[in-house]
Structure 1
């Protein structure tokens, strides 16, 4: 039994456990406290989301839906091991559960089977939704499992709880199956090891920095001026494919003409880009289909490449 941490303390404790924490909007004051009390808190509850995709999962857990208003948890643990804080205070995550389970959590004893749903869990548990389809087949990456371990340990460490204060939704409310794909017994063992000061498991790999193609304007212009003409040998440049792919994505060039040659179709498509508002709104000779620095940078900013001269 404990008084809930202040929101700022909550975020700080997670970061102190070497977690990557993403603070989403007004999470510190986004809650359901008008519907009932928040605290005293007794433990940590783990869920799976039955969703796929980080952005949509985080947004759903923050806002909720027509049948269940958000926040649907305090933090969303995504596949990459990041913890997205979406609310703090009373959250619609636990629902009603078994009083015998709550007593065991408070006493830090092994859990009995859950066969009742009479106690308000939204009041008494920190809740974390974990991005997973919940079908028993969707994998749980090591980074995500370690984040669940670290989150649970951070909260238990602050309140002086042991691993028996960490439970799954399926252990709280009859009929629930989450989280599916790993056992809560194995997760509690991991939390116990971390609380006892065991060396951390392999940290989640750093996300690779995204690499963006680079287009050389002078080489691109040479290719654009050369290829539409039948005279001489056309100039080839690998960056043409990058620009053509962007024009295809913009709906200005048919994919069949994305062939690495700045031919007439590509010139025509690029002229359309120059005339468009997004491309600069040029007209006349300024929209001749031969790339310029301004229009090319605008294309790159929108479709994922950088420009050098």
Structure 2
């Protein structure tokens, strides 16, 4: 009897060259409404942060850096989202997707670090007011801001490269409105365990540790404020810190839930909602929070308006 050797069937591993961002295509009747809402929010973000940059031009650079960062951060995702809501073709190339993910991650890390530095700035101002001009001089502020902007660049070059080095051989429909890490990984055919472990490690380093540093700073700040003899002094100190605390809670809260919760609890609807929260909603509220809750910013705004009126 003659046996014929048969090769095992070959699995089709045709490499993908592009993704299709499904976004909010599951609600076709709301495309125009969503476009209008997101456009208004984007304009508010641009105008609000631009106003802060203009009115605080004579003040320390940290708040100006934060507002500049917010403009860059939302501009990575929102213009593409608005474009996709206006057209049927929602394709995005591998290179464009990788570029969007890279800048989103780098700017997100920069925001974590700048919020941490701003907490340290508040700590020095309240706990060591006499040494504040010496510790937080212009040179130190510039160095801290530069460190925040550049520290995430090398890490996320390698991280993004690792993600897009994975084989993508199945569906090219990305059920999200931008190239975030979790939805992209769901389309990968290879073993993603190492990447998922790396996500947790990076999230702990750039999210959890800065959050704990901010928390520690505010424990000392609140302890110092409670020891102030005058009610007016306590009220002023709390007013100065409350705006930053609200921004930290909004940004870090949504980020920790997104990247540190168990993979089994991920769902498309929840991921999209959380992503909207930290990519559009929080940046929209940040200028309002700083303008309304920070007396120094309000004073600068009054001076600016009086100058031009």
Which TM-score applies when normalising by structure 2?
Answer: 0.24
**Bigger RCO (CA 8 Å, 6+ sep):** 2
Q: Which has the larger radius of gyration?
A: 1
Normalising by structure 1, we get a TM-score of 0.24
Please identify which structure carries the higher helix content: 2
